[in-house]
């Protein structure tokens, strides 16, 4: 009986110890799955139609695009909305902001995971002049970073824009551990491809 109890305690202890790592691996797998699913659906739709492809509807969250920052080796699915479930698996496009690629300010938020290289963990390494690429449906947009700031969480002025040019605003918590502020990276569209 003592052996069974000891084995159970050790098993639960190991599970408790490795749960955060398993959870991180699951969300990494899910991010990759979302990106792969997004790219596969768009390839299939392009093969059958000359019209702009639209993602299939389902109850499971699906990517509306992919955000890439080559400098920090980031490739992250972008989903619609910024609820907690969305932000667990990717970046979220703030519905209240402008659509990606159109005039105005398109805001995208993501967690700043403590795991190196996950989500916006390395966003603080981005510098003015760096390139951010966002691919949505049949379009690819390149943005060049022009501003990096840290603001209070209540400061929503950063979302204001005169609407004369397409701007992308990336938002995450700062610092990584015990965040008290928001790290804001703003970029202006420099190129719209296909």
pLDDT per 10-residue tile (average), the chain, 194 residues = 78 72 66 61 47 44 89 94 88 94 94 78 96 93 97 87 90 91 96 88
Q: What is the pLDDT of residue 33?
A: 66
Q: Percent helix, strand and coil across the chain, each rounded to 5?
A: 30, 30, 35
Range of the domain at 67: 2-193
Contact 108, 171 (CB under 8 A): yes
| Pure H helices in 49-126 | 84-89
Q: Count of CB atoms within 10 A of residue 79's CB?
A: 24
Q: Distance of alpha carbon 132 from its chain centroid, rounded? A: 12
Q: How many domains does the chain have?
A: 1
Catalytic site residue 161? no
Q: For residue 166, which of 194, 190, 185 has the smallest C-alpha distance?
A: 190
pTM of model > 0.75: no
In whole angstroms, what is the distance from residue 140 CA to residue 100 CA? 10
In CATH, what number is assigned to the domain containing residue 129? 2.40.260.10
Q: What is the pLDDT of residue 3?
A: 85
In whole angstroms, what is the distance from residue 28 CA to residue 128 CA? 28
Interstrand relation of 104-109 and 91-93 (parallel, antiparallel or unpaired): antiparallel
Q: For residue 136, which of 84, 62, 57, 27 has the smallest C-alpha distance?
A: 62
Catalytic site residue 173? yes
- Selected catalytic residue, list 54, 93, 161, 173: 173
Compute the Cα dihedral for 80, 83, 86, 90 and give only its sign.
Answer: positive
Q: Count of CB atoms within 10 A of residue 74's CB?
A: 21
Q: What is the pLDDT of residue 31?
A: 62
- Selected catalytic residue, list 54, 62, 93, 111: 111
Q: Distance of alpha carbon 106 from its chain centroid, rounded? A: 13
Q: What is the pLDDT of residue 58?
A: 43
């Amino acid at each position: 009986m003592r052996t069974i109890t000891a084995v159970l305690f050790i098993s639960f202890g190991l599970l408790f110890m490795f749960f955060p790592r398993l959870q991180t691996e699951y969300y990494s797998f899910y991010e990759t799955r979302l990106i792969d699913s997004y790219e596969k659906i768009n390839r299939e739709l392009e093969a059958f139609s000359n019209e702009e492809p639209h993602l299939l509807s389902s109850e499971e969250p699906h990517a509306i695009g992919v955000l890439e920052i080559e400098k920090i080796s980031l490739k992250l699915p972008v989903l619609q909305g910024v609820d907690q479930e969305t932000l667990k698996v990717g970046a979220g496009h703030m519905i209240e902001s402008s659509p990606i690629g159109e005039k105005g300010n398109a805001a995208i938020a993501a967690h700043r995971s403590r795991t190196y290289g996950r989500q916006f963990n390395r966003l603080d390494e981005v510098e003015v002049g760096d390139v951010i690429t966002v691919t949505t449906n049949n379009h690819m947009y390149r943005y060049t970073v022009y501003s990096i700031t840290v603001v209070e969480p209540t400061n929503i002025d950063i979302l204001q824009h005169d609407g004369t040019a397409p701007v992308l605003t990336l938002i995450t918590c700062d610092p990584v551990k015990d965040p008290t502020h928001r790290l804001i990276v703003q970029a202006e569209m420099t190129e719209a491809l296909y």
